[in-house]
Amino acid sequence: MFVCICNALRDRDLAEAAKTDTPTVAEVFRRCGSRPKCGKCLPDVAQMIDEARGLQQVFAAAG
């Protein structure tokens, strides 16, 4: 599913880019080789980052 229409970025691309220790929205876009344009997708990308952080914490606690 496309999350960022302006840059044609899909959820799986953004989710993969969000899997770092301390990602920011700008860093996620940079890893995808683009920059935010209209900004409508920024809340969705921020939510993906939060979800990636939550999964990292779950795996760290289980490990």
pLDDT surpassing 60 at residue 58: no
Using left for φ > 0, alpha for ψ between -120 and 50, and beta otherwise, residue 50 falls in alpha
- Are 4 and 41 in contact, with CB atoms under 8 Å apart? yes
What band does 59 get if pLDDT is binned at 50, 70 and 90?
Answer: low
What band does 18 get if pLDDT is binned at 50, 70 and 90?
Answer: confident
Q: Give the C-alpha separation, 6 to 62, whole Å.
A: 38
Q: What is the mean pLDDT of the chain?
A: 86
What band does 21 get if pLDDT is binned at 50, 70 and 90?
Answer: confident
Domain tally, the chain: 1
pLDDT surpassing 70 at residue 48: yes
Q: Give the C-alpha separation, 30 to 59, whole Å.
A: 26
Q: pTM of the full predicted structure?
A: 0.79
Q: Interior CA angle at 53 toward 52 and 55, to 5°?
A: 65
Note down the domain range covering 36: 2-62
